Amino acid sequence: MFQLTRSVTWQALERLRDKTANDRIRDYFTNDPQRFEKMSLRVGGLFLDYSKHQVSDEVLAKLIELADHSALVQRRAQMFSGDIINVTENRPVLHTALRHLGDEPVYVDGEDVMPEITRTREQIKLFSEAVRSGEWKGYNGQRIKDVVNIGIGGSDLGPNMAVRALLKYRHPELHFHFVSNVDGTHIQKVLSRLDPATTLFIVSTKTFSTQETLLNAKTARRWFLENAGEDADVGAHFIAASTNRKAAMEFGIREENVFEFWAWVGGRYSMWSSIGLPIALSIGFEGFIELLEGAHEMDRHFIEAPFAQNMPVLMALIGIWYINFIGAETQAIVPYDQALNQLPSFLQQLDMESNGKSVDIFGHPVNYKTGPIVWGQTGSNGQHAFFQLLHQGTRYVPIDFIASLKPEPGVEDHHFALLTNMLAQANAFMEGSQGDSKELSQLDPYSCPGNRPSSTLLLDELTPKNLGALIALYEHKVFVQGVIWNINSFDQWGVQLGKRIAGEISERIDANAADFDASTQGLLELVRAHFPTSARKADSAEPASSDKKPVRKKR
Ligand code: F6P
């Protein structure tokens, strides 16, 4: 059986790790004046500088050999052509079809899925145009002013991140809110500022069975019924993005307002589907299509570019170098644009839910590290919070710096400061505080050692298209790493376990909890004291179909 760590290339990389252990990144530049030109790359409106890494030419060549010897070419083709690569859930993985804008068919089980994708896109177009123009009316004839997306995980993070990132393109009369936390104060706080007559709720849930989302959706519906319309009016204020049409309709959503998507779209890969509806509502359907175009352009690059010039492949391989050979445990994501402040959270789910696995696709335990801990926040704030540890702490943390080049009119000076700060940090991480004077740094115990690696990703401008390309870049990076580690990046059994036990605990809180461990029982005892049985029942997250009160059809 093939064992990754026993492969000739892997072992050569281990030897290279020892050989280059004392290399200084800055010396790579001194020895090779062409390093920046050689180790930077443009794809559309994205520019990647990967020269500030502790990666010699020899290491890079070996990493590319690792990709060459992996199943990447085959698995990439399988993904794009709808083969079942999510083997544990027995599904294809076809988020790339959602941004496929050409005429060519994409087959799943012998059936071309493009007509349904195009039909749903058309539905998104018509609906978003109706809401944006004011043609869509609430129950008493007023136009929609606030849109509340209720969802969690992939049904929240993608649209939330993208709507914020593209806020400057937002419809001026529409305001967007995202409710995800089951903590009732989250939805309460949002609702307290809204008028039910002018609010539209999007219940975003692939399964229409996620406890947090259903509970929030029911609270929103109750608030709507208490403060405005009747059951029959729910349809004018609630729509759904879900694969579970039946449950959405039982909730009171009109059939034509259930925006479909498909089992072959993973939650964390779903912002290109009807889960992206808030994006289309915010920036308009044309902007949404531009987002898809940017992602599609990155897909084409990922398929066509040789590995040595392939942006996602290079980013994946450099990540593998740090994770598997240098021993880095984490990856920092540091966007400098405030508009990208949700990007670290989005990428955290994308990467950690995809590659947080410890068995390979055959179910055998792996004997190497897989996905890193992904974390971060905006750079200016990070500089005054966690950067100290990155400069002088005992951890080794590769960083992705991300920023857009084009300033917003009127705040050019801010944007200039933002970019110069980012470049200064990337330089300081590499150079340290003592420049090339080894003697000085040995004398000064408070100096910054430098030799800390980073990539810099520049967007010409923060447009829908460039954002689409950026997200697709990271999706493919995660995919490439998953293929090299031979894991399934598309299931999430750990998350499912948590969901199942949450259900069991709430069902068995009164009796029959004896088979939980003593700690859980003790903690349940404390919880129980605060919740009389009636309060627990009232907050049950069962689908609305089981509600006592029937939902009447629209008048
Ligand atoms: O977080 C786990 C997960 O299954 C994600 O993949 C998904 O995006 C999220 O839960 C929410 O699930 P749903 O969209 O079905 O409500």
Do residues 267 and 153 touch, judged by C-beta distance below 8 A?
yes
Q: What is the distance between the alpha carbons of residues 173 and 190, in angstroms, rounded to a whole number? A: 17
Which of 155, 181, 355 is the pocket-test mutation for ligand 1 (most atoms within 8 Å of CB)?
Answer: 155
In this prediction the pTM is 0.94
414 is catalytic: no
Strands (E), 257-366: 258-259, 330-335
Q: Does residue 495 have its Cβ closer than 6 Å to ligand 1? A: yes
**Centre of ligand 1 from the C-alpha of residue 279, in Å:** 19
Q: Say what angle helices 464-485 and 57-68 make with each other, to 10 degrees.
A: 80
Number of C-beta neighbours around residue 505 at 10 A = 15
The residue whose CA is least distant from atom 9 of ligand 1 is: 153
Helix H, strand E, coil C: the string for 244-275 is CHHHHHHHCCCHHHEECCCCCCCHHHCCCCHH
- 435-442's contacts with Cβ under 8 Å and 24+ in sequence apart are 436/26
Residue of 137, 145, 391, 499 with catalytic role: 499
**Centre of ligand 1 from the C-alpha of residue 507, in Å:** 21
pLDDT-based confidence at residue 134 (cuts at 50, 70, 90) = very high
CATH classification (class only), 110-283: alpha beta
Beta bridge mates, 403: 458
User: Domain-by-domain residue ranges, the chain?
Assistant: 4-93+292-431+450-491, 110-283, 495-530
pLDDT-based confidence at residue 555 (cuts at 50, 70, 90) = very low
pLDDT-based confidence at residue 498 (cuts at 50, 70, 90) = confident
Q: What is the distance between the alpha carbons of residues 167 and 462, in angstroms, rounded to a whole number? A: 10
**Centre of ligand 1 from the C-alpha of residue 544, in Å:** 19
- Pull the structure tokens for residue 45: 């409106």
The three-state secondary structure class of 414 is helix
**Centre of ligand 1 from the C-alpha of residue 232, in Å:** 29
Give tens-digit pLDDT for 76-121.
Answer: 999 999 999 999 999 999 999 999 998 899 998 889 999 999 999 9
353 is catalytic: yes
Longest dimension (CA), the chain: 83
Which helix or strand (DSSP H or E) is residue 550 part of?
none
Residue of 384, 530, 548, 549 with catalytic role: 384
The pLDDT score that the predictor gives to residue 506 is: 79
More confident residue, 510 or 46: 46
Q: What is the distance between the alpha carbons of residues 305 and 310, in angstroms, rounded to a whole number? A: 5
Beta bridge mates, 46: 43, 459
Which of 93, 150, 182, 206 is the pocket-test mutation for ligand 1 (most atoms within 8 Å of CB)?
Answer: 206
Q: Does residue 213 have its Cβ closer than 6 Å to ligand 1? A: yes
Q: Does residue 207 have its Cβ closer than 6 Å to ligand 1? A: yes
Give tens-digit pLDDT for 351-374.
Answer: 999 999 999 999 999 999 999 999
Q: What is the distance between the alpha carbons of residues 472 and 312, in angstroms, rounded to a whole number? A: 9
CATH code for the part of the protein at 4-93+292-431+450-491: 3.40.50.10490
In 3D, which of 462, 464, 440 has the Cα closest to residue 450? 440
Do residues 433 and 441 touch, judged by C-beta distance below 8 A?
yes
Strands 46-49 and 330-335: unpaired
Q: Say whether 110-283 and 4-93+292-431+450-491 share the same fold.
A: yes
Q: Does residue 210 have its Cβ closer than 6 Å to ligand 1? A: yes
**Centre of ligand 1 from the C-alpha of residue 267, in Å:** 5
The pLDDT score that the predictor gives to residue 539 is: 45
Within 13 Å of residue 457, how many CA atoms lie on the same side as its CB? 26
Residue 486, pLDDT above cutoff 90: yes
Q: Does residue 268 have its Cβ closer than 6 Å to ligand 1? A: yes
In 3D, which of 477, 90, 116 has the Cα closest to residue 313? 477
Q: What is the distance between the alpha carbons of residues 498 and 500, in angstroms, rounded to a whole number? A: 5
